[in-house]
Amino acid sequence: MRTEEYPVEQYFQSLWLGAWTSVSGNPDVYVYQSYNGNYCLLAYYYDKESERGNFSCHEIGTDEGGCYVGIGM
């Protein structure tokens, strides 16, 4: 039987690709891979009172300590 081991950090981000909605519907969160191969987290919040939507986008990175979300892009 042949087994192969892969570093978790190499594939961890791709496991998170997709979209999630919170219980209250705000915020919606999307994890996607950009055209340059970096992974990003996009959070979208819709305020029903002001009828305005806001979003923030953050790059997801890795280092020897694990994954982190960068502030601002």
| Spacing of C-alpha 43 from chain mean position | 8
pLDDT at 10: 54
Q: Is residue 1 included in any domain, yes or no?
A: no
pLDDT at 6: 47
* pLDDT per position as a tens digit, 5-49: 445 455 566 777 888 777 776 778 898 988 888 888 898 888 888
Q: Which domain holds residue 65?
A: 16-69
Q: Is residue 30 included in any domain, yes or no?
A: yes
Q: Is residue 43 included in any domain, yes or no?
A: yes
Q: Is residue 5 included in any domain, yes or no?
A: no
Question: How many distinct structural domains can be found in the chain?
Answer: 1
Q: What is the pTM of this model?
A: 0.65
* Cis omega (within 30 of 0) for bond into 27: yes
With a cut of 80, say whether residue 2 has pLDDT above it: no
Q: Is residue 11 included in any domain, yes or no?
A: no
Amino acid at position 20, single letter: W
pLDDT at 11: 58
Q: Is residue 21 included in any domain, yes or no?
A: yes
Distance, CA of 9 to CA of 64 (rounded, Å): 9
* pLDDT per position as a tens digit, 49-58: 898 988 888 8
Q: Is residue 38 included in any domain, yes or no?
A: yes
Q: Is residue 64 included in any domain, yes or no?
A: yes
